[in-house]
Amino acid sequence: MSLDHTEPEDQRGRPRPSFWKSKAGVVAAGFLLIGLFFLLSEHRAHLFGVLPFLLILACPLMHLFMHRGHGGHHHHEQPRKPDAGAEP
């Protein structure tokens, strides 16, 4: 078993076509598209009924993931030193 990351080759040394470009892949893609069509057409009411809840769920998820990029709510301020002329 080799650890190189080259494309798999057939008996003659030519690279094998990907699965989705083969006859079986085209048939599988056709069945998937037909299944997706019937799934969406038969369950459209269920999908549209869930959309408002997905929007509500998106708010805390966006808050969680978007604040990760700029450090969140953690403020790294140094405590202020009292002025030398200020009275205690």
15 forms beta bridges with 9
pTM: 0.42
How far is 70 from 11, CA to CA, in rounded Å? 53
Q: Where are the domains of the chain?
A: 19-66
pLDDT of residue 33: 97
CA distances from 85 to 59, 60, 78 (A): 48, 47, 20
Kindly state the tokens that stand for 80.
């202020």
Residue of 58 and 11 predicted with greater confidence: 58
Alpha carbon distance 76, 37 (integer Å): 52
What tens digit of pLDDT does each residue of 21-64 get?
899 999 999 999 999 999 989 988 888 888 899 889 998 888 88
